[in-house]
Structure 1
Amino acid sequence: MLKRLKNADAALTPDMLERMRRLGRGMLGRDYDRQFRWSDTKLYCSEPVWKLYRRGAGVTLCKPQQFRDVNPARPVLAGEAARRYGKNMPPPGEPVVTPAALFDSPLLRTVREE
């Protein structure tokens, strides 16, 4: 499924789009952040999308959650979190933007389904 910002033609000015391009080029080549830290040193899948819209166009696609809110007590995910982080779990208040939160953003519309 492909989504776009609603009213993007009106909402995103040429200056905003150029700023987003510059910011995006600056993110190229960064390592993938398997620990989902909220930094610019490494980036995870949904983080650059959120940051490009926020920093480049002032659009907040979704409200960042806190790590404690997306680390459910499901055994499979709890096991993966323990394997991935060990004793270095992110702080419970660490901001995180999930792909699901972006997908569900009311600011986006579906332009293609496959």
Structure 2
Amino acid sequence: MLFRKSYLFIVFLFNLILVSFYFVENLNFSGTTIYFGWNDELIYCTELVWKLYDRYTGIRLGELKTLKDFDLSSPAVQFLMKKRYGNRVPYSEPVISPVDMFHSSELITVVNHQ
């Protein structure tokens, strides 16, 4: 059973890597970033996975939100936003969070170790 799970994970990971290379080669992709911006030049990690699924399978893993939809009131968050964006925080920029992807109705539980 462990071998089967490991094999399935490796196949999934391999496919994701192949699709990632195709995605990167066919866009003006320069690398990853810590900044939120819904263009294809610099992509943050969760955005890359979301766009891969959306563009190549038509599956939207979670609903897009904007920065203003999140609770940004924490002093630590305020500090990081100010440091990254100064006074030009892109509050209306589309974003996807790992939590929103995780809770997508498109995902199913394959193995539950409870």
TM above 0.5, one fold? yes
Q: Which residue of 2 aligns with 1:40?
A: 40
Unaligned 5+ runs, structure 2: 1-14
Unaligned 5+ runs, structure 1: 1-16
Task: Point out the structure with the larger strand share.
Answer: 1
What is the correspondence of 1:1-114 to structure 2 with a 5 Å cutoff?
21=19, 22-23=22-23, 26=26, 30-90=30-90, 92-111=91-110
Single out whichever of 37-46 and 94-103 deviates more from structure 2.
94-103
TM-score (norm: length of structure 2): 0.68
Query: How many residue pairs end up in the alignment?
Result: 95
**Matched residue SS, 2:32:** coil
- The structure having more radius of gyration, on CA atoms, is 2
Preserved contact between residue 64 and residue 95 of structure 1 (Cα < 8 Å):
yes
TM-score (norm: length of structure 1): 0.68
Task: Point out the structure with the larger helix share.
Answer: 2
**Matched residue SS, 1:46:** helix
- CA displacement, residues 53-112 of structure 1 (integer Å, 9 cap, x when unaligned): 11101111111001111252111111111111112311x221000111112222223446
Q: Which one has more relative contact order, counting CA pairs under 8 Å at least 6 apart?
A: 1
Percent identical:
31
- What is the RMSD computed on CA atoms of the aligned residues? 2.8
